[in-house]
């Protein structure tokens, strides 16, 4: 996966239809949201429904690479990981 600059995330969660997956990322006390759709767009991958292991791996990668205070994976705004 390409290195994604965390400034590409928005300050507000996106609202994109049913089964929206996003990552809530807190860095230095500031919360950013990166939607699964936007992540697919940035990486050039066609949007698809990811599995839990893949989401967990991305969560760990965000925590490590961005030195995040916390990363929460959300489905329709509800925490799942």
Please write the tens of the pLDDT for every residue from 46-75. 999 999 999 999 999 999 999 999 999 999
* pTM score of the predicted model: 0.75
- Length of the chain, please? 81
The predicted structure's pLDDT at residue 12: 52
CA distance linking residue 69 with residue 48, whole number of Å: 28
First to last CA, the chain: 20
Q: For residue range 12-55, list pLDDT tens digits in order.
A: 554 444 579 999 999 999 999 999 999 999 999 999 999 999 99
Give pLDDT, residue 9: 52
Helix, coil or strand: residue 28: coil
Amino acid 19: pLDDT:
78
Which among 4, 71, 60 is positioned nearest to 33, based on CA atoms? 71
């Amino acid at each position: 996966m390409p290195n994604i600059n965390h400034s590409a995330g928005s300050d507000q969660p996106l609202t994109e239809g049913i089964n929206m997956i996003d990552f809530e990322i807190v860095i230095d006390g500031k919360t950013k949201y990166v939607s699964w759709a936007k992540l697919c767009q940035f990486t050039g991958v066609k949007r698809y429904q990811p599995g839990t292991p893949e989401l967990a791996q991305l969560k760990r990668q965000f925590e490590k690479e961005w030195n995040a205070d916390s990363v929460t994976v959300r489905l329709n705004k509800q925490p799942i990981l």
